[in-house]
Structure 1
């Protein structure tokens, strides 16, 4: 009997190591219940087939598979153990159905002539009784102790003994021989069976809790660095933190072109600043899918003495674009298990979220900078007093023009306040702001500037606030220094397939090549400003849309052209997107 129960326990140990079975334990659906019935019915049938056959004198007979049992013979088996565990795990419905199948099979073993019919109701009753324990969540298998499982198994076997005593032809004679070994060993088997499952689940939960704690710690410690963007300096700090909290032999972070940081094994040739050293990384940046390598050849490092033999490479994405990779290596391939792969994938998702969060904060900062500049322009002594003085002077001899300028001044300030609050405004609102600015400037310097608008799109198309104003203002301030006439600025807005093309060109003196290379990439100090507005606009365009929206500058002796191309989106399309 101990051998038979031991066989069942071994099967239980093998079963609990199958992830699919562990999922069935907690998925309470009709499909999962049916699958549990099939699994435990198979267990019960196996225990019937491998039972111990006793003749009428309770002497052990045939020890092979019991496909047929003589009508006067009895069988000692672990069927009740299987039915009990099925009820505890699956509930009354699963337990009773397994009991019905197991009891019916036991009856069929002896043929319908054998008086073994009582095994059917006894097995069904045991399945229901053990299943009712599942209904009480405080004593369900997930929290059931070994001692509770022992007494449950003991109780169910006693129920079976009562049925044998009442309905078996050999009644007391059989119970006297089998009661003690069956109840004790089956109870122990039930206890061990449930303990194996609960222990494995608890270990799995503890492992997940430990991993979760490590991941949360990693997320907390790396977030400040991701806020600064995916740069070489931030990546250096991040890989140190990951290496400290994991057991990988090497950690790398890259962008799409170069290694930003590498720590651990192979540091002698996986060097920050160099182009991507492995074919695996290039594959991930191209496909955007997680790649796992379990051989040095699969990693694809060209260095002949590279010790890395296993890797998991996770893409890092932001705004639906792959911006880099997280690479985690082992020098022994056997150490890369599904647990480490899941950990790497989880970290990749968290880091991608942190990158997006960092970029969102960066955009918020840029928007605040734009707001600050807008507010500064409103109280700028030069601009404000020049406008007021111009209006004051005009009011003496041209009241109507002075009134119009006051209206334009109000329009300009109102547009600035609107732009400071929104990330996108209509092209019509942006042009009105530009025209208000121009009318105020041209009142001070009549006929000095000529600004032409060539708008070939619907004015409800959306653009970032200050996008055209900054470019026009930049052309007026820096393009015509020392010239009092013949200064022309042209604003061209067209649609190019699914993008909106904006060009602001002038016929000014051009931009020095040294300055042109820095425009939009950094703040430039000059005698007439520091280039903050131009820099902020460029950064906002990239952050709001994509790299293709970056400002493009072409300049020469014949003038300067500044262009950008952003996704084409109308106000109506934006409203529909928000509604969805």
Structure 2
């Protein structure tokens, strides 16, 4: 360009000869520096993205067990404390659609849990189902509760479940601290993860309720038959041995009362054994010498947490579909022991009549297995082995300790 526009040409040529090499070198160096800056900026964005994702997943991991207990004031307080610790923002609040459930950080003296939502920004986020951000530079958070409140910026993210807003998560910063974009991105990511966790926990809760309902329905179908058979047995015995008939009535009353009163998800192995003992005493009276029962229980497992109504359907299945079909004496064994860090409970009969494709015979077993897996994890549950005409053994595997 210099040679084309400059005159005289000889002087321009001499100038180019002097500055050509430095210009080429400086241009190349500048281009290299520019590309390096672009590359470093991309790497920085990648590192920030990885950092945000890692922190969000770490928070989600910490909050998973909390959310299993639902979205309440107690769990909201725990969630707020976890988010406050992990993000290092000025304050964290969690609300439902009407009131503040939890508040941690600066301003906790007047942002009190249990009070109605006062911020227009929060109302807007709930009504319009959108993220609301006051950055403290162009838009400011004006605390409606205290003119001396130090909080100046806020991120309000709606919390969803089944496409319905159930509350908000709010991150605040004070006047002397800028609201970082990384915390804005992190806040939105955390809320999305928590919404997914709440939905998953609700699904698990509904699945467990369905399994419990199926189990109760199964028992409602069985109990009338058991009651009818038990009363007939007691009527037959009362003519010969009134005292024994009285004891059987007490056991029948005890068994039915336990069926009605046991509403919690878990009971101890000792309580489960107490429940089936009354059942077995009545069945032994019914079958007389055709039914023998052996129990071998590790005393250290008596306080083991067991999903309620685990043993009774399995023992009933062994007698109803196994031993009752025998013409020779039947034997039911119940054995509880430890193996490889797992609690094992075996229910065995000497009939060996189990068929995998027999739907009615295995319905109670299937419900018990699904309920254990739902409550305790897929690594636990029931397994069945059968030697035709020799024995059927149902093994229940449970954790030695159940997480609260």
TM category, shorter? 0.5 to 0.7
Pick from 460, 464, 479 the counterpart of residue 322 of structure 2: 479
How many angstroms does 1:461 deviate by? Answer: 2.8
From the CA coordinates, give the structure whose radius of gyration is larger.
Answer: 1
C-alpha change, 1:501 and 1:509, in structure 2 (3 Å) is closer
Is 2:350 the counterpart of 1:504?
A: no
How many angstroms does 1:436 deviate by? Answer: 1.4
- Which secondary structure state, in structure 1, belongs to the residue aligned with residue 364 of structure 2? helix
* Structure 1 equivalent of residue 206 of structure 2: 361
C-alpha change, 1:200 and 1:532, in structure 2 (3 Å) is same
Is 2:404 the counterpart of 1:559?
A: no
* Structure 1 equivalent of residue 24 of structure 2: none
How many angstroms does 1:479 deviate by? Answer: 2.3
Contact 1:370-1:533 at 8 Å conserved across structures: yes
How many angstroms does 1:473 deviate by? Answer: 0.9
Distance (whole Å) between structure 1 residues aligned to residue 258 and residue 88 of structure 2: 61
**1:292-334 Cα shifts (integer Å, max 9, x gaps):** xxxxxxxxxxxxxxxxxxxxxxxxxxxxxxxxxxxxxxxxxxx
Is 2:227 the counterpart of 1:396?
A: no
Distance (whole Å) between structure 2 residues aligned to residue 24 and residue 435 of structure 1: 57
Is 2:279 the counterpart of 1:437?
A: yes
Distance (whole Å) between structure 2 residues aligned to residue 25 and residue 548 of structure 1: 40
* Structure 2 equivalent of residue 447 of structure 1: 289
How many angstroms does 1:208 deviate by? Answer: 4.3
TM-score (norm 2): 0.53
How many angstroms does 1:497 deviate by? Answer: 5.5
How many angstroms does 1:391 deviate by? Answer: 0.8
Distance (whole Å) between structure 2 residues aligned to residue 343 and residue 403 of structure 1: 67
* Structure 1 equivalent of residue 229 of structure 2: 386
How many angstroms does 1:395 deviate by? Answer: 0.9
How many angstroms does 1:457 deviate by? Answer: 2.6
Distance (whole Å) between structure 1 residues aligned to residue 90 and residue 287 of structure 2: 79
C-alpha change, 1:201 and 1:496, in structure 2 (3 Å) is farther
Distance (whole Å) between structure 1 residues aligned to residue 135 and residue 372 of structure 2: 58
Where do residues 155-554 of structure 1 align in structure 2 (5 Å cutoff)? 197-199=136-138, 201=140, 208-209=155-156, 212-213=157-158, 216=159, 218-221=160-163, 343-378=188-223, 380=224, 382-419=225-262, 421-458=263-300, 459-480=302-323, 482-496=325-339, 498-515=341-358, 524=359, 526=360, 531-554=362-385
How many angstroms does 1:372 deviate by? Answer: 4.2
Count how many residue pairs are aligned between Structure 1 and Structure 2.
Answer: 252
* Structure 2 equivalent of residue 281 of structure 1: none
* Structure 1 equivalent of residue 106 of structure 2: none
- Which secondary structure state, in structure 1, belongs to the residue aligned with residue 288 of structure 2? coil
C-alpha change, 1:26 and 1:357, in structure 2 (3 Å) is closer
C-alpha change, 1:430 and 1:342, in structure 2 (3 Å) is same
Larger fraction in strand:
2
How many angstroms does 1:500 deviate by? Answer: 1.6
Contact 2:337-2:344 at 8 Å conserved across structures: yes
* Structure 2 equivalent of residue 113 of structure 1: none
How many angstroms does 1:361 deviate by? Answer: 2.6
Distance (whole Å) between structure 2 residues aligned to residue 196 and residue 422 of structure 1: 48
C-alpha change, 1:551 and 1:25, in structure 2 (3 Å) is closer
C-alpha change, 1:24 and 1:548, in structure 2 (3 Å) is closer
Contact 1:457-1:495 at 8 Å conserved across structures: no
Contact 1:375-1:416 at 8 Å conserved across structures: no
Distance (whole Å) between structure 2 residues aligned to residue 424 and residue 196 of structure 1: 49
How many angstroms does 1:492 deviate by? Answer: 0.8
Structure 1: unaligned runs, 5 residues or longer: 1-22, 28-194, 224-336, 516-523
Distance (whole Å) between structure 2 residues aligned to residue 444 and residue 25 of structure 1: 70
- Which secondary structure state, in structure 2, belongs to the residue aligned with residue 511 of structure 1? coil
C-alpha change, 1:201 and 1:427, in structure 2 (3 Å) is same
**1:203-223 Cα shifts (integer Å, max 9, x gaps):** xx99944xx34xx4x533289
**1:184-237 Cα shifts (integer Å, max 9, x gaps):** xxxxxxxxxxx99531557xx99944xx34xx4x533289xxxxxxxxxxxxxx
TM-score (norm 1): 0.38
Distance (whole Å) between structure 2 residues aligned to residue 568 and residue 491 of structure 1: 18
* Structure 2 equivalent of residue 12 of structure 1: none
- Which secondary structure state, in structure 2, belongs to the residue aligned with residue 484 of structure 1? coil
How many angstroms does 1:480 deviate by? Answer: 3.7
